[in-house]
C-alpha cells in the first residue's frame, strides 16, 4: 500500500559497480530481470490474448466493444465514479481543516490524529463490513419506531448508497492523511496563515485562496489514491449487496468470461493512466519550484 505514496522515487545516484566486478554478477542480474519480466508480463499478454481470440472467429476486438453494451456496465461505472467523487469531497473536507488546525495550534493532538487516521489499516475490510452490516441490522431490529430507522434505510438506497461513501472515507483516511501530511510539511503553513490573517483574509478565504493552491499536488495525490481505492473496492460493496463496478465485473464473469477479462485489462490500463498522471504531476511540482 505504500505503493502509491509520492516519495517512492528517490533520485539518489547509484554507485557504479566497482571496476573488475565479477562477470557472474551481471549474469545473475540479467537472469533475475528475465524471470521477473516473464512472471509479470505473461499474465498481461495472456489476458489480452484471451480477450481477442475467439475459437472459430480468429482475432477480434469484439470483447472490448461488448464492454460498453453489456447489461449494467454504464450504471455500475457511474455509481462507482459517483461514490468516488463523493468520498473525495467528504474525506478532504474532514481531514484538511482538522490537520491544518492541529498543525498550527494544537500540536498536542497530532499523535492522536495520526493514530486515528492510521487505525483503519489494522482492520481488514472484511471485518469492518462485518461490523457495519451488524449495525445496519439495528434498523429493522431495534430502531423501527424511531427517526433513526428512516436514516438507516435511506443511507442504503441502492441508487446511491451513502453507507458506502461513509465506509470508503474511513478506508481512505490513512492514504489521505499521509498525502496531506507530506504536503503540509513541505509548505510553511504558519507563515502563510499569519500573513493572510494580518492582511485581513477571512478563514474561508484563507483556506480556499491560500492553503488549497499551495497544496495542489498533495490534494491531487490524495484524490487519485481515493478514487483508485473506490473504483477497485469489492469486499464491502459485495457483502452489502450493492452493484458497484468491481461487483458488476464479478457478476458478469459467470456468463461472459471474455468480457469480464476485457474489463479487467481495461481497469488495469485506467490505473496505469491514473498513476502516470500522478507521477508526472509530482515531477512537475518538483521541477516547477
Partner 1 sequence: MANAPLSKNRSKSWLAAVPLLAFVALVFGVPLVVILGGTFTRGGAVSTANVTESVQGAYLTALLGSVKLSALVAVVGAVLGTFLAQAVVTSRFRALREAVLTASGVLSNFGGVPLAFAWIATLGNSGVITTSLGFDARGWSLYNFWGLALVYLYFSIPLMVLVVVPALDGLRPQWREAAQNNGASAWQFWRYVGIPVLTPTLLGGVVLLFGGSFAAYATAQAMVGSAVPLVTLQIANALSGNVLIGHENVALALSLDMIVVAGLVMAVYLPLQRRSARWLR
Cell readout for 82 is: 459517483
Nearest distance in Å: CB 179, partner 1: 14
Nearest distance in Å: CB 28, partner 1: 8
Nearest distance in Å: CB 226, partner 1: 13
Residues 66-105 touching partner 1, rule: CB under 8 A, are 94-95, 97-98, 100-102, 104-105
**How many whole angstroms from its chain centre is CA 194?**
33
Cα angle, residue 44 at apex, residues 7 and 253 outer, rounded to 5°: 110
Cell readout for 47 is: 489476458
In terms of Cβ atoms closer than 10 Å to its own Cβ (0-12, 13-18, 19+), residue 78 is: exposed
| Of 126, 144, 195, 212, the one binding partner 1 by CB under 8 A | 126
Comparison of 119 and 212: residue with beta carbon closer to partner 1: 119
| Of 264, 281, 282, 285, the one binding partner 1 by CB under 8 A | 264
Rule CB under 8 A: is residue 252 a binding residue for partner 1? no
Nearest distance in Å: CB 171, partner 1: 10
Q: Which residue has the cell 494544537?
A: 106
DSSP collapsed to 3 states, 19-77: CCCCHHHHHHHHHHHHHHHHHHHHHHHHHHHHHHEECCCEECCHHHHHHHHCCCHHHHH
Stretch that binds partner 1, among 66-74, 75-83, 213-221, 269-277 (CB under 8 A): 269-277
Nearest distance in Å: CB 29, partner 1: 4
| Of 132, 217, 218, 230, the one binding partner 1 by CB under 8 A | 132
| Of 67, 76, 86, 169, the one binding partner 1 by CB under 8 A | 169
Contact 249, 80 (CB under 8 A): no
Amino acid at each position: 500500500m505504500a505503493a502509491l505514496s509520492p516519495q517512492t522515487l528517490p533520485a539518489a545516484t547509484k554507485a557504479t559497480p566497482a571496476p573488475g566486478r565479477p562477470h557472474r554478477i551481471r549474469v545473475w542480474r540479467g537472469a533475475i530481470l528475465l524471470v521477473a519480466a516473464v512472471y509479470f508480463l505473461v499474465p498481461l499478454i495472456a489476458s489480452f490474448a484471451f480477450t481477442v481470440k475467439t475459437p472459430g472467429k480468429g482475432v477480434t476486438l469484439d470483447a472490448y466493444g461488448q464492454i460498453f453494451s453489456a447489461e449494467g456496465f454504464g450504471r455500475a461505472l457511474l455509481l462507482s465514479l459517483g461514490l468516488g467523487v463523493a468520498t473525495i469531497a467528504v474525506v478532504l473536507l474532514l481531514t484538511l481543516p482538522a490537520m491544518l488546525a492541529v498543525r498550527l495550534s494544537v500540536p498536542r493532538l497530532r499523535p492522536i490524529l495520526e493514530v486515528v487516521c492510521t487505525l483503519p489499516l489494522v482492520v481488514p475490510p472484511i471485518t469492518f463490513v462485518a461490523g457495519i452490516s451488524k449495525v445496519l441490522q439495528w434498523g429493522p431490529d431495534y430502531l423501527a419506531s424511531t427517526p433513526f430507522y428512516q436514516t438507516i434505510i435511506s443511507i442504503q438506497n441502492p441508487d446511491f448508497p451513502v453507507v458506502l461513501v461513509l465506509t470508503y472515507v474511513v478506508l481512505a483516511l490513512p492514504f489521505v492523511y499521509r498525502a496531506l501530511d507530506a504536503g503540509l510539511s513541505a509548505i510553511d503553513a504558519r507563515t502563510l496563515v499569519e500573513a493572510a490573517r494580518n492582511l485581513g483574509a477571512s478563514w474561508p478565504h484563507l483556506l480556499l485562496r491560500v492553503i488549497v493552491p499551495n497544496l495542489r499536488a498533495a490534494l491531487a495525490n490524495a484524490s487519485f489514491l481515493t478514487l483508485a481505492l473506490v473504483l477497485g473496492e469489492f469486499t464491502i460493496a459485495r457483502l452489502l449487496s450493492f452493484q458497484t463496478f468491481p461487483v458488476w465485473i464479478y457478476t458478469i464473469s459467470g456468463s461472459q468470461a471474455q468480457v469480464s477479462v476485457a474489463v479487467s485489462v481495461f481497469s488495469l490500463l485506467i490505473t496505469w493512466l491514473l498513476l502516470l498522471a500522478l507521477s508526472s504531476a509530482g515531477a512537475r511540482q518538483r521541477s516547477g519550484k
